[in-house]
Amino acid sequence: MKFVDSCEVKVIAGKGGNGSVAFRREKYVPHGGPSGGDGGRGGDVVFEVDPGLSTLLDLTYSHTLKSKDGQHGMGKDCYGKAGEELICRVPLGTQVFDNVSNVLLFDMDQPDSRAVVAAGGKGGRGNIHFASSFDRAPRRAEPGDQGQERMLRLELKVMADVGLLGFPNVGKSTFVRAASKARPKVADYPFTTLVPHLGVVSIGDEASFVLADIPGLIPGASDGAGLGIRFLKHVERTRALLHLVSLDAGEGRDPLKDYTALMKELKAFDPELAKRPMIVAMSKGDLPEVQDAYKVAKPKFKRKGIELHLVSAPTGENMRPLLIELYKLVKGVVPLEDWSTASP
């Protein structure tokens, strides 16, 4: 399925029904008086979270979302039927902005989130409401109000406990495949991952967290370089970050310089992101050249107060201890299955 994380849509709520002008015409009831009922209320346009959705693709084809109008009032004191609300399902993590003022209206960040994005118009009153001692046969009624109309912009930010950061080709997708049942594409060229992937990492029967594979970033990402801010925004939802560094054949990459460059991009995009709890690990630990580079890089990171881990996703080396550290970072507790190895 195509991943779409941004779209614009016009929403129009239903118009309220008009009130009715009518009079009673019953045998044996002289001067029956007014009997015009009220119009029904227009239907709302409602957004509801559907945990089964992961993209805004469906809404990209719906340029206008319109709910039903309310029914007009009728004689014999009959009120019009309210218009049906239009329910549109959106993925968890969807933000709804007013496209004109750019104001955030709703943040659908809970599984049971429900928001009325356009309210239906109120139905008009019938002439039964206008009878008085001075006017016993009123011949006026109110028209229904127009429903609310808005131009909205929807932005999807993936909901995950841990966000996976790193330069292209450092092994993020391989790490996700090894840690969960997610199956992002893996290849030996940069920008293999073009959309975020979510995977559930299970530490035990009752201990798990959600890991997000964020497409590779490069210097200048906060200004739109590479995949740029399109995917940096997905990191905002995460509670902690796993920063992967490694060597890339032919690129002459330096792990510490890579880490520093991406931290600079995080600070430029959102200073709060750089303050998130973070673990730094060197991937591809099964390669001899990476093992040699790790011995050189570890003291350099330590001088900056950062502990550098070494992992190998293909062989599973040091994977479980790292995943347990991530679990403790986001949940704040030691998983039950790891009490025996927990430090006192």
Asked whether residue 100 falls in the same domain as residue 36, the answer is: yes
| Same-domain status, 232 and 328 | yes
User: What's the pLDDT score for residue 81?
Assistant: 94
CATH of the domain at 48: 2.70.210.12
Q: Indicate the pLDDT class of residue 344, thresholds 50, 70 and 90.
A: very low
3-state secondary structure the chain: CCCCCEEEEEEECCCCCCCCCCECCCCCCCCCCECCCCCCCCCCEEEEECCCCCCCHHHHCCCEEECCCCCCCECCCECCCCCCCEEEEECCCEEEEECCCCCEEEEECCCCCEEEEECCCCCCCCHHHCCCCCCCCCCCCCCCCCCCEEEEEEEECCCCCEEEECCCCCCHHHHHHHHCCCCCCCCCCCCCCCCCEEEEEECCCCCEEEEEECCCCCCCHHHCCCCCHHHHHHHHHCCEEEEEECCCCCCCCCHHHHHHHHHHHHHHHCCCHHHCCEEEEECCCCCHHHHHHHHHHHHHHHHCCCCEEECECCCCECHHHHHHHHHHHHHCCCCHHHHHHCCC
Q: What CATH number is associated with residue 252? A: 3.40.50.300
**84 and 22, same structural domain?**
yes
**pLDDT at residue 336, as a whole number:** 47
208 plus 84 within the same structural domain? no
**Rounded Cα–Cα distance for residues 69 and 47 (Å):** 18
Over residues 158-183, mean pLDDT: 78
286 and 305 share a domain?
yes
Residues 126 and 266 in one domain: no
The reported pLDDT for the residue numbered 47 is 95
Residue 192 sits in the same domain as residue 330:
yes
- The domain boundary, picked from 124, 156, 188, lies at 156
Q: What is the pLDDT of residue 112?
A: 86
112/235 same-domain check: no
Where among 135, 156, 177 does a domain terminate?
156
Domain limits at 326?
Answer: 162-341
- Could you read off the pLDDT of 7-57 as tens digits, one per residue? 899 999 999 999 999 998 877 766 778 999 999 999 999 999 988 787 788
Residue 188 has pLDDT above 60, yes or no: no
Range name among 108-117, 200-209, 278-287 with the lowest pLDDT average = 200-209
Tell me the pLDDT band of 196, cut-offs 50, 70 and 90: low
Residues 120 and 223 in one domain: no
What does the mean pLDDT of the chain come to?
81
| Total tally of structural domains belonging to the chain | 2
272 and 228 share one domain: yes
| pLDDT given for residue 341 in this prediction | 45
pLDDT class of 340 with cuts at 50, 70, 90:
very low
296 and 270 in a common domain: yes
